[in-house]
Copies of this chain bind each other. A is one copy, B any other.
Amino acid sequence: MAASFASRLAWIAVDWGSSNLRAWALDDAQQVIAEGDSPRGMLGLAPAEFEAALLEVIGDWLPASDLATEVLICGMAGARQGWVEAAYLPLETPPSEVLSRLATRLTSVPTQDTRLNVQIVPGLCQRPATGSATAGFDVMRGEETQLAGLLASRPGFDGAVCLPGTHAKWARLETGRLLDFSTFMSGELYKLLSQHSVLRHSLGADELHDEAQRAAFLEGIDTAMAAPERLSAELFGIRARDLLDTSLPTGEARGVRLGARLSGLVLGLELAGATARLPAGARVVLIGDEALCRRYRLALAHLGFSVDIAANADMILSGLGHIHRRGDSQATSPSITS
């Protein structure tokens, strides 16, 4: 890297999940001056392998000087099976501004390379709260940073936020405070059913390209919303439809149609639970993978909700940037207690 790059580099943001990592080099004005990624996610790494995996992506960015560069990491790298466990920060009752306190609970990671000053953002944990119908045991790692990013760009945000994925998170915020959150295993459930269950014989490519496919998806949504207790019967119904339903197209289109219905049923169950307490027509902010967010938006708009989509990487960068600035301001503030 050129000297000018090293002189511009202020810190490095890293989103390190189960199956990959993304890194961004930022300058003092929070402009991205380089980015990189790697398929070496937490699940494929032993603790001793994380430093080398990180240096593969960001090693060239680091100045040779003795001054360590801050590398701020969010995500599963901080799990118990990750690099170093970053203890969960608990949600509190009544709700506090836990999202603004992430910077006060960073976990420092010892490294061999003296050019690195690695800090991991804590995840959040939730224990059942008296008086709350839905706040059960739950955890998140990575999404807290995206929520902090949303708050950084929309201070005092009120409303529902959904972060779709293998384990989708739904969070409720009120004037910038995190009230509670729930994780729905829908993504994993869909994958298990479509790849490993008896239904796999009936399914085609997973796509919502045409009107008939979207209609099948939305019928699945409506069916699950109307009678969530019949979900596992409706799942078998996909197999039975494949055997009996003469109104379905033949050939490849048949499997695609049935796959769209399966996707709708599984997501519909989630939406039945997640939207139960939302006011009609409420606004839902979606943060996540673009294609998945479009699928959620199609369903939520069909149910009468209004939807904003915020780009995944934007929220991570905004969140890590917020935590970085907080951390700086605290590090340079005079400390009273010690």
Contact = CB atoms under 8 A, between A and B. Distances in A.
A44 to B, nearest CB: 16
B232 A273 contact: yes
Interface stretch (A32-40, A113-121, A133-141, A320-328): A133-141
A269 interface: yes
Contacts of A232: 184-186, 189, 266, 269-270, 273
Interface residues of A, number: 47
B138 A236 contact: yes
A298 B2 CA distance: 71
Nearest to A268: B229
Contact of A243 (B139, B188, B276): B139
Contacts of A172: none
A182 interface: yes
9 contacts: A137-B244, A167-B198, A167-B236, A182-B230, A185-B233, A228-B229, A229-B273, A229-B276, A233-B273
A192 B200 CA distance: 13
Contacts of A231: 228, 231, 269, 273
A302 interface: no
Contact of A183 (B133, B134, B233, B270): B233
A125 B244 contact: yes
A223 to B, nearest CB: 9
Interface string A221-244: 000000111111111110111011
B184 A188 contact: no
Given A125-B244, A127-B244, A139-B240, A233 B182 contact: yes
Q: Which of A137, A138, A273 has the most CB of B within 10 A?
A: A137
Contacts of A245: 137
Interface string A181-221: 01111101100110011100000000000000000000000
A193 B188 CA distance: 9
A22 B252 CA distance: 37
A233 B137 contact: no
B167 A185 contact: no
A292 to B, nearest CB: 15
A232 B267 CA distance: 10
Given A183-B233, A233-B274, 15 more contacts: A137-B237, A137-B240, A139-B244, A182-B233, A185-B233, A186-B232, A188-B198, A189-B235, A192-B197, A228-B228, A228-B231, A230-B273, A232-B266, A232-B270, A232-B273
Contact of A236 (B184, B235, B276): B184
A272 interface: yes
